[in-house]
Amino acid sequence: MRRRVAVTGIGLVSPHGETPDGVFDALLIGLSAITRWDEADAAPAAVARAPFDVTRWFTRLQLAGVDRVSQFAVAAAEMARADAGLNTLDEGTGVYLGTGMGGAAAIEEAFRSHQISGRVPPLTVPAFMANAAAAHIAMRAKLHGPVFTYSIACASSAVALAEAAKAIACGEVDCALAGGSEALLQPSALRAWQAMQTLATPALDDPSQACRPFSADRTGLVLGEGAAVLLLEAYDAALARGARIYAEFAGSGISCDATHLTKPDASGQARALAAALRNSGLAPGDIGYCNAHGTATRIGDPVECEALGRVWGDALAGLAVSSTKSMHGHLLGAAGALEAAISVMALHRRALPPNMHCEQPDPLCKVALVREAGMAAPHLRAAISNSFAFGGTNAVLVFRRSD
Amino acid sequence: MKTLEELKQMIHEKFEIDTATLKPDAPLADYGLDSLSLAELLFTVEEHFDVDIPDNRQDVNTLASLAELIDGLRVPQHA
């Protein structure tokens, strides 16, 4: 017996702020949170920073050995719980968290101080280890259930959400905090991404338009930071307590290309898309919106469109597609969770955020892009969110309206 | 006494603990410092006072004993 799963809480630390409605409103009008990153002796880049006041969540004493990535995660988890109308969580609640890099600030500081003085701060290891963020969430909320970390590059938090929903569906846990956190806007991490020739080259006058998914003139991705955590719970339990249900977590599909470490593969992505439809019991025509992976790299965007075309076939024209990375950048290990939250909000609000900065779509990207801001979607019933990772793992999440 | 005052100021700046509440002979745990934050504090102490606290002396648990330890380690350098 598979239980239904409800999304009842959303917690965000994002480039567009922290309230689900506020973030969605900003995206709906096409507001970009991307700004310029300047560092001595380095090529300029565009980034999407999350405004964040750590003093709301931690005292200075509590901050010993707590990296920014864990600070984001704790804040997002606490906000998800509160947003679900819960003062406390059952101690059996699970934590399923994705992160790509872990504590990037701690790593940066460790190497810096190693070079300068040969002495490394004593809490470097607990600060940067990948599972620190999930552990901090569990300690803060006193959760003794499964506390898992998923590090699957750009699919980390989408997989974390899929795994959490499965655990609820099969009765392993009744409630879960699931999502992702990423905070790697550090000089060396940024240079490493620059060295891979994947980052967008920002225009000198207006970095806010640097990320142009599916556009003929796109130049690459923009790194962002933040965290997104969803509170998932058994659907019947959510109904019984009279909770506001944003949407139902309808299913997921996961696959691995097993072809190349960084080159995307349409066949692998199509397998994940088809698996997601099967798993959720929905047909292409049921899905009204796709929050695309759409990182705005030359190679990635057409491959995603090809995969969508293979699975959707003639129904592709009825699938509205946008990559909100055009406004919030690529949050890597937190991208899947932030974009899942946006997809859930699209269903909840019945409106579609636009795919910005794409005046001239790439002819190879034959999908129905959401080209206008503020688009209402009165008949929207179900949506998918795509996350395709370095390493070849593809994750597709499916949400549907609860009514 | 100067070392003790410097220590109080350092703890205040690092952890935002009011210097007026810091007592020389109270266990540091009373102020919420656990083994992790103590490790951080000792690292900062080493940087600030330019001393190297031996591994077998890292069990200090009051400000007075920490100040004494620092003064003891600094004497040879000034000699």
Judged on CB neighbours under 10 Å (0-12, 13-18, 19+), A167 is buried
The residues of A assigned a catalytic role are 154, 293, 330
Q: Is the pLDDT of residue B78 over 60?
A: no
- Check CB contact under 8 Å for A61 and B17: yes
A contact residues 263-292, partner B, Cβ 8 Å cutoff:
none
Residue ranges of domains in chain A, CATH in brackets: 5-240 (3.40.47.10), 251-400 (3.40.47.10)
Predicted pLDDT at B55:
81
Residues 6+ apart with CB under 8 A from A20: A10, A12, A83, A341, A345
The Cα-based distances of A64 to A163, A243, B6, B21 in angstroms read 31, 36, 20, 20
Q: Which of A54-58, A311-315, B32-36, B73-77 has the lowest mean pLDDT?
A: B73-77
Rounded to whole angstroms, the Cα distance separating A220 from A253 reads 26
Average pLDDT over residues B7-15: 92
Measured between alpha carbons, how far is A213 from A292 in angstroms, rounded to an integer? 9
Residues of B within 8 A of A61 (CB-CB) are: 15-17, 31-33, 37
A189–chain B nearest CA distance, Å: 25
Judging contacts by C-beta atoms under 8 Å, the chain A residues touching residue B50 are none
- What pLDDT is stored for residue A204 in this prediction? 73
Burial of A337 (0-12, 13-18, 19+ CB in 10 A): buried
Distance from CA of B4 to the nearest CA of A (A): 19
Closest to A308 (Cα-Cα) out of A329, A288, A292: A292
β pairing state of A223-224 and A45-48: parallel
Spell out the domain ranges in chain B. 2-78
Query: Per the CB < 8 Å rule, is B40 touching A65?
Result: yes
At B61, the pLDDT band (50, 70, 90 cuts) reads: confident
Q: Which CATH class is domain B2-78?
A: mainly alpha
User: What ipTM was reported for this prediction?
Assistant: 0.82
Report the DSSP beta bridge partners of residue A14: A17
- Do A65 and B33 lie within an 8 Å CB cutoff? no
* Predicted local confidence at residue A26, as pLDDT: 98
Residue A278 exposed, middle or buried by CB count within 10 Å (0-12, 13-18, 19+):
exposed
- Using alpha carbons only, give the angle A244, A245, A251 rounded to the nearest 5 degrees: 165
Nearest residue in B to A124, CA atom: B40
- Residue B32: list chain A partners with CB under 8 A: 61
CA A189 – CA A384 distance, rounded (Å): 30
* Spatial separation of the C-alpha atoms in residues A37 and A15, rounded to whole Å: 14
How many CB atoms are closer than 10 A to CB A22? 13
Interface subset of B 30-59, CB within 8 angstroms of A = 31-33, 36-37, 39-40, 42-43, 46-47
Q: In what order do the strands lie in the sheet with A175-182?
A: A147-150, A94-98, A175-182, A226-234, A5-13, A247-256, A393-400, A382-388, A289-291, A320-322, A368-369
Sequence-ordered list of residues with C-beta below 8 angstroms from that of A114, at least 6 positions apart, any chain: A120
Residues 6+ apart with CB under 8 A from B32: A61, B15, B17
Nearest chain A residue to B14 by CA: give it.
Answer: A60
Asked whether A370 and A353 are in contact (CB, 8 A), the reply is: yes
Residues of B in contact with A64 (CB under 8 A): 15, 36-37, 40
Mutate to test the interface with A, among B17, B34, B40 (most CBs of A within 10 A): B40
The model's confidence at residue B58, banded by pLDDT at 50, 70 and 90, is: confident
The answer to whether A66 and A127 are in contact (CB under 8 A) is: yes
Nearest-Cα distance to chain B for A176, in Å, is 28
The DSSP code sequence of A5-35 is EEEEEEEEEBTTBS-HHHHHHHHHTT----E
Residue B57: per-residue pLDDT: 79
- Give the pLDDT score at B77: 57
Q: In residues, how long is chain A?
A: 403
pTM: 0.95
Tens of pLDDT, residue by residue, chain A (403 residues):
799 999 999 999 999 999 999 999 999 999 999 999 987 777 889 999 999 999 999 999 999 999 999 999 999 999 999 999 999 999 999 999 999 999 999 999 999 999 998 899 999 999 999 999 999 999 999 999 999 999 999 999 999 999 999 999 999 999 999 999 999 999 999 999 999 999 999 877 899 999 999 999 999 999 999 999 999 999 999 999 999 999 999 999 999 999 999 999 999 999 999 999 999 999 999 999 999 999 999 999 999 999 999 999 999 999 999 999 999 999 999 999 999 999 999 999 999 999 999 999 999 999 999 999 999 999 999 999 999 999 999 999 999 999 8
Q: Give the separation between CA A219 and CA A203, rounded to whole angstroms.
A: 11
Q: What is the mean pLDDT of chain B?
A: 88
